Copies of this chain bind each other. A is one copy, B any other.
């Protein structure tokens, strides 16, 4: 028993395939009686359109591709959830790809998505420069929106948060807490996130007259292990800073863990901040002060931009207006890693 085709439905209903298609898609005039017959036949056979045949004919797949640097980073998975949610509202599906933080794999994924004829692509480029050619080449062929991270040398829409503003909030908060010097632990400056966040960090530190020892800028990757390693180095060098600002929560979790292991009190001796507000942030010991990204809104905005780009492409050929850059304002979430804990949370 193979899956029924439109032809079988047509035969059973005693009409042509054209009519069946018209009934099922709701396009074109069909008399009420025939509609009923067709619907019943379709129902009885359990007919479902074949998305492949439809895609071939229509040139649309109702599928959006998404490429993220790493599916094991909780921030990205929650972003994916939000995007999937937003797409669901438009009756579109998500095809998710993991770039494993490798621009080469990323380029292959993008090519695959183009080949698969997705309707649009949402990408968070893993590299600030090397991701450029592939992203641009892809954007030349399909509607594309960059999310969270972006890559230089491209002209595509982008949605994310204002990292500079976020860092201003973070630094002001640390200063209020009495910090007079700060360290920065991030990934290498090869992606826009660390780059922007570091720029925001440095600028505000200067404004506030907070010292930043060049040796207190440690760049590795987005991982707990790197946070631990960097902290060990910081502490080994002596003269630790009053605060450690991290480019994401994973790093911050590593930092707090290492502080604990070395007997350094957080926030008493050193304040620590993260970025992203992943679910695990509140599990740190102490719970992390971090920057919350409005994921739902980022996702919704990205989907909206994608739809707009697709529409523009259909009507005015090549009438690409200037690309949209939507920078949302993130929120600082204050927890124990920068403020004395509530009594009940002490161990």
Task: List the interface of chain A (C-beta within 8 A of B).
Answer: 3, 48-53, 55-56, 61, 71-72, 74, 77-78, 80-81, 84, 93, 95-96, 98, 111-112, 115-117, 141, 224, 253, 257, 260-261, 263, 279-280, 283, 285, 344-345, 347
Contacts and interface: CB of A to CB of B under 8 A. Distances in A.
A341 to B, nearest CB: 10
A93 to B, nearest CB: 7
A347 B115 contact: no
Contacts of A112: 93
Contact of A77 (B72, B141, B280): B72
* Stoichiometry (number of copies): 2
A283 B77 contact: no
A249 B53 CA distance: 44
Contact of A344 (B72, B116, B261, B344): B261
Greatest chain B CB density within 10 A among A52, A74, A112 is at A52
B74 A80 contact: no
15 contacts: A3-B141, A48-B115, A50-B56, A50-B117, A52-B56, A52-B116, A52-B117, A56-B56, A71-B80, A72-B81, A224-B283, A263-B347, A280-B280, A280-B283, A285-B347
A260 B61 CA distance: 51
Contacts of A74: 72, 74
Given A52-B55, A260-B285, A261-B344, A81 B77 contact: no
Given A224-B279, A261-B347, 20 more contacts: A48-B111, A50-B56, A51-B115, A52-B52, A53-B56, A56-B56, A71-B77, A71-B80, A72-B74, A74-B74, A81-B98, A93-B112, A96-B96, A224-B283, A253-B283, A257-B285, A260-B285, A280-B280, A285-B285, A347-B347
Contacts of A347: 260-261, 263, 285, 347
Contacts of A71: 71, 77, 80-81
A138 to B, nearest CB: 13
Contacts of A49: 115
Contact of A95 (B77, B95, B111, B257): B95
A331 to B, nearest CB: 20
A133 to B, nearest CB: 14
A61 B72 contact: no
A261 B345 contact: yes
Contacts of A253: 283
A344 B78 CA distance: 34
A70 to B, nearest CB: 9
Contacts of A283: 224, 253, 257, 280, 283
A327 B118 CA distance: 38
A338 to B, nearest CB: 18
A155 to B, nearest CB: 18
B48 A52 contact: no
A119 to B, nearest CB: 13
Nearest to A347: B260
Contacts of A280: 224, 280, 283
A130 B41 CA distance: 29
Greatest chain B CB density within 10 A among A115, A253, A279, A283 is at A283
Nearest to A265: B347
Nearest to A225: B279
